[in-house]
Structure 1
Amino acid sequence: MGWTISRVSSLQLNQFNRQHVARATEALQRAGQELATGVKADLFADLGPRAAIALTLRAREENTQTYITSNQLLDSKLEAMLASVDAVRGQANDVLKNTLVNASRPSTGANALQSQARAALESTIASLNISYNGDHLFSGTASDRAPLTRWEEANANTGLSPQQALLDIVGSGPTTLPEVEAMIDKIDAFFDSSNTADPDRNYEATFFNGTPLLDASGGASNRVSARIDEGQKLVYGVQANDQAFRDTLKGLAMLSVTDVSEIDDEAVYARWMEAVNNALSDGIQGGLQSASAIGFNQQVVAVTQTQLNDMSLVQRTQISNYESVDPYEAATKVSNLETQLQASYSVTARLSQLTLLNYL
């Protein structure tokens, strides 16, 4: 009786079968992952050189999403700024209605103007001192601190309160035309920050704490800005030391430190009220321009957001084309690999039961 001995040993056959099972198991795991996630498990192996394109697209998409998120925050800031500016205008307008009625001589409601102006002044300061996510919106680039000192609160740098600075100018109130003109000039110098004789008695020293309008070299200070897209920057800073707010605060302050109903001289009264009305009117008009500028910036952000969302859609579609797998193809691949593994396991089990004694 003769024997035929195979050149492949049972050990080699077993090892070969184990390697095949290991490769099939790994392939099944990868196919299962692709079926579950919908994307290729090994991007570089599947795409080769084209994987670099997919990675570039993904980096662009991440950058786009960063702009979209930051623009959403910016839009919320602009909305809060617009609400505050409108509130300031509304408060000033309510006072102006009564000052116009009492423009030439005290009449209806003149004795209540001081208390009304004081309440409007406090509300205006509160509106301009708002913050969003820790940033004070009307402080300019110095957004870590509130832009305005409270009316009766002493400024930490000058030791003066805005109220005291104005009371030192007005005293018990104007009594003659030369006196009223001198007071108005000093009040203008305070709110224009042009008092060089006593720098502490300036709006940007005692009242305003944010970024000055002019830097140390005398040039315009940088305004708050944001990059809303690649290569597109939006300057949107509105500050509490802009002319509109200084005019509004000046008109309200002049009423707050003086009970105009007690001014006896008609000419003095009319001149004081003329200055108050001019300041409030200029402030309201300037506030309207500020509100329009904020609204325009909101439109710019909205248009940019639309463009970014459209770009994101295109990029995500392109990324999907590179990275996604066909779910039906992935399911078929999983099914085929499962069948192969089942067959391999079956053969392995049958081989493990075979011995030489079975043939003797």
Structure 2
Amino acid sequence: MISYVQTVSTLQSLLTRQRTTTDMTKLMLQAEVEVSTGRHADPYAALGSRSIEAMSTRAAYERTLGRIESNTLLQNRLDLMATSLSNVREAAQEVLTMAMTNQDPSSASPQYMKDLARDAYDTIASFLNAGYNGKSLFGGVASDKTPVNTWGKANGTTGYSPADVMAGIVGGGITDAADAAAKLAQVDAVFNGTPGDPATAYEQTFYSGSPLMTGATPTPRLNAQIDDNFEINYGVQANDQGFRDLMRGLAMIASGDPATISDPDAYKAWVGAATKALSSGVSAVLSAESRTGSMQKQVEDATTRLSAKRDVYSLHISDLESVDPYVAATKLTSVETQLQASYAVTARLAQLSFLNFM
């Protein structure tokens, strides 16, 4: 009877040991990661059927983080909007106070009203042109544009400046009550968007942001989703009616100098209309401040809720992906011991030679 004995060569044994050593090294690296981080090196493999739960929880966590970040940016934007609106109201209030105390021509001292109104116009325009992260605050969805032209700046499309438009209406001044009434109608048409020359309309020359209407459809306002199923429309635009009233009152005083109106009835009509427009505008700005403050509170509350949700997700992820530190340390020690033994055997095999037995 003939029998065969299958032997394993020294080279094959050595290669096998090397592969085993490589595998053990990988296991040791994984164990080191688990000991140092407290989490599974491959959480989805470790969790098995619960890996889908871990993936969905982590996705929800990332979405929540993203929304918290966007809410923080929105909160900063709203803070700047509130500050700008407050500055607009204060600048306009100064002109309104002077206009109210100078409505009666017999007791008026209107010589400074024109210069004050011009300065206030440009000051308010600068506040309304404020931006955040390169986007204008009061230009609507056309946030890449500077929404309000200053008094003497010509609009790039129409070629007119606000001063040009008002000079074309006021001309040599306000002469009598009938002249005042006719010119007031023209001013109203400009700021309501129905002038004889469309290029002189408020949204064509005075304002360059998003129009209130696109054809017969209202132009969408800036909005943001601050929480699940919770969206706010926070857009305040410099072409809203209150801002039109404010800029109309300033433009009237800046162009139709009250100090040059000698007819009492014309003076009362012109200054009275400007004062009424300013008063309406200041009230509207105050209302916009109030709405902005309310939205600030909504965003703050939403961020608080999202932060609590983030913490819950974080704890759940930790529960799913964390590894028992004792188990991780024991695994590291065990793999290290096996690896040391494997290194020793591999080293001995590498030194074997047929010559040693001759």
Task: Give me the TM-score of the superposition, normalised by structure 2.
Answer: 0.91
Task: Give me the TM-score of the superposition, normalised by structure 1.
Answer: 0.91
Where does the alignment leave 5 or more consecutive residues of structure 2 unmatched?
none
- 1:107 Cα shift? 4.7
Where does the alignment leave 5 or more consecutive residues of structure 1 unmatched?
none
Per-residue CA distance 1:291-330 (angstroms, 9 max, x = gap): 1111111111111111111111111111111112233332
- Are residue 50 (structure 1) and residue 54 (structure 2) matched? no
- Are residue 173 (structure 1) and residue 173 (structure 2) matched? yes
- Aligned position for 2:301: 303
Amino acid in the other structure paired with 1:165: V
- 1:105 Cα shift? 2.0
Partner SS, residue 226 of structure 1: strand
Amino acid in the other structure paired with 1:242: D
CA contact (8 A) 2:148 2:238 kept: yes
Alignment match of 1:265 (pick from 263, 266, 275): 263
CA contact (8 A) 2:39 2:321 kept: yes
Give the distance between the partners of 1:136 and 1:239, measured in 2 at CA: 10
Question: Structure 1 residues 176 and 359 mapped into 2: Cα distance closer, same or farther (>3 Å)?
Answer: closer
Partner SS, residue 211 of structure 1: coil
Amino acid in the other structure paired with 2:100: L
- Aligned position for 1:229: 227
Give the distance between the partners of 1:275 and 1:289, measured in 2 at CA: 21
Give the distance between the partners of 1:210 and 1:20, measured in 2 at CA: 70
- 1:15 Cα shift? 5.3
Q: Which moved more, 1:317-326 or 1:112-121?
A: 317-326
Instruction: Write out aligned runs for 1:273-284 (5 A).
Output: 273-284=271-282
Instruction: Write out aligned runs for 1:99-114 (5 A).
Output: 99-105=99-105, 107=107, 109-114=109-114
Give the distance between the partners of 1:356 and 1:265, measured in 2 at CA: 127
Give the distance between the partners of 2:228 and 2:198, measured in 1 at CA: 43
- 1:106 Cα shift? 6.0
- Aligned position for 1:208: 207
Instruction: Write out aligned runs for 1:65-214 (5 A).
Output: 65-105=65-105, 107=107, 109-195=109-195, 197-214=196-213
Partner SS, residue 150 of structure 1: coil
Amino acid in the other structure paired with 2:135: D
CA contact (8 A) 2:158 2:205 kept: yes
Give the distance between the partners of 1:354 and 1:267, measured in 2 at CA: 121
Question: Structure 1 residues 188 and 14 mapped into 2: Cα distance closer, same or farther (>3 Å)?
Answer: same
Give the distance between the partners of 2:242 and 2:257, measured in 1 at CA: 24
RMSD: 2.3
Amino acid in the other structure paired with 1:302: E
Question: Structure 1 residues 214 and 352 mapped into 2: Cα distance closer, same or farther (>3 Å)?
Answer: closer
- Aligned position for 1:60: 60
Amino acid in the other structure paired with 1:190: V
Amino acid in the other structure paired with 1:83: T
Give the distance between the partners of 1:355 and 1:126, measured in 2 at CA: 89
Question: Structure 1 residues 358 and 202 mapped into 2: Cα distance closer, same or farther (>3 Å)?
Answer: closer
Question: Structure 1 residues 254 and 340 mapped into 2: Cα distance closer, same or farther (>3 Å)?
Answer: same
Partner SS, residue 200 of structure 1: helix
Give the distance between the partners of 2:154 and 2:246, measured in 1 at CA: 21
Amino acid in the other structure paired with 1:266: P
Seq. identity, %:
39
- 1:17 Cα shift? 4.3
- 1:349 Cα shift? 4.4
Give the distance between the partners of 1:279 and 1:146, measured in 2 at CA: 24
